[in-house]
């Protein structure tokens, strides 16, 4: 069985997800914790339940999704994964962070592990498909757990909204195609866990999303 917990972190109210299985092996998706209170909240949740983080998976590398990356790597000594097309944006995040008020942010010393093409990831016996969904940025991915009809979609698709495309690497036409071909082909009952805001479902967004409707 796969368990999930949502944390809302930093001034952008970014959704950080902790996923773990029956053996309490876990992955952290998009660690956005920045201040000491948020870092303590994540650490205490993990420790109080005996959860053992194994890796960090990044949907993309916009600053609000990686603010807690260095903390998590130092705390649990685990690898982190991202798409290779996110490399330039990742490396520049330390430079533009102060402009968003994130003074003191720094990238970790350890290098990322890149997702291979058509990647499948394992958490114990739980399998995830890595969906390549550019448009919000060049190397955006999502993590689809077919067994439970759930997808962690980052900033591609929100409840009745979509990710912004006015940042470097953004393109609305590419984003719309990613949603139609990469997400809307999933079963309608699939639950979407986005990078911001409440969960939604594929079938609901296909009918009611004003930006990309089928």
Q: What residues contact 193, with CB distance under 8 A and at least 6 apart? A: 4, 6, 15, 17, 150, 151, 152, 153, 199
Rounded distance, CA 126 to CA 141, Å? 18
Distance CA(143)–CA(153), nearest Å, equals 7
What topology does CATH give the domain 3-208?
Metallo-beta-lactamase; Chain A (3.60.15)
Q: What is the pLDDT of residue 214?
A: 87
Percentage of the residues of the chain whose pLDDT score is greater than 70:
100
pLDDT digits (tens, 9 = 90+) for 73-102: 999 999 999 999 999 999 999 999 999 999
Dmax over Cα atoms in the chain, in whole Å? 45
Q: How far apart are CA 20 and CA 126, in angstroms?
A: 9
Phi, psi of 131 (to 5 degrees): -95, 125
Instruction: Give pTM, 2 decimals.
Output: 0.97
The stretch 148-161 carries a mean pLDDT of 98
**Main-chain dihedrals φ then ψ at residue 168, nearest 5 degrees:** -50, 130
pLDDT at 187: 98
Segments making up each domain of the chain, as ranges: 3-208
Q: Please write down the long-range contacts of 163-171, taking CB distance under 8 Å and 24 or more positions apart.
A: 163/135, 163/136, 163/195, 164/136, 165/135, 165/136, 167/62, 167/136, 167/137, 168/89, 168/137, 169/89, 169/134, 169/136, 169/137, 169/138, 169/139, 170/135, 170/136, 170/137, 171/134, 171/135
Please give the Cα distance from 79 to 74 (Å, whole number).
10
Average pLDDT over residues 46-66: 98
* Model pLDDT for residues 161-190, shown as the tens digit of each residue: 999 999 999 999 999 999 999 999 999 999
pLDDT of residue 198: 98
* Alpha-carbon separation of residue 203 from 180, 181, 187, 194, 207 (angstroms): 12, 14, 8, 15, 7
């Amino acid at each position: 069985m796969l368990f999930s917990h949502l944390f809302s972190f930093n001034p952008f109210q970014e959704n950080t997800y902790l996923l773990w299985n029956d053996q309490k092996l876990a992955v952290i998706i998009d660690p956005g914790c920045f201040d000491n209170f948020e870092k303590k909240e994540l650490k205490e949740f993990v420790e109080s339940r005996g959860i053992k983080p194994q890796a960090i998976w990044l949907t993309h590398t916009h600053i609000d999704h990686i603010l807690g990356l260095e903390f998590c790597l130092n705390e649990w000594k685990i690898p982190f994964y991202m798409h290779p097309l996110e490399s330039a944006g990742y490396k520049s995040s330390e430079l533009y962070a102060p402009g968003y008020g994130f003074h003191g942010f720094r990238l970790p010393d350890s290098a990322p592990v890149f997702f291979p093409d058509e990647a499948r990831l394992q958490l114990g016996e739980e399998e995830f498909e890595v969906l390549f969904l550019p448009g919000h940025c060049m190397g955006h991915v999502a993590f689809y757990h077919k067994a439970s009809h759930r997808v962690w979609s980052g900033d591609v698709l929100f409840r009745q909204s979509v990710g912004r495309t006015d940042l470097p690497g953004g393109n609305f036409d590419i984003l719309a195609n990613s949603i139609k071909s990469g997400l809307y082909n999933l079963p309608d009952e699939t639950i979407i866990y986005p990078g911001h805001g409440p969960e939604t479902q594929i079938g609901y967004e296909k009918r009611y999303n004003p930006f990309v409707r089928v």
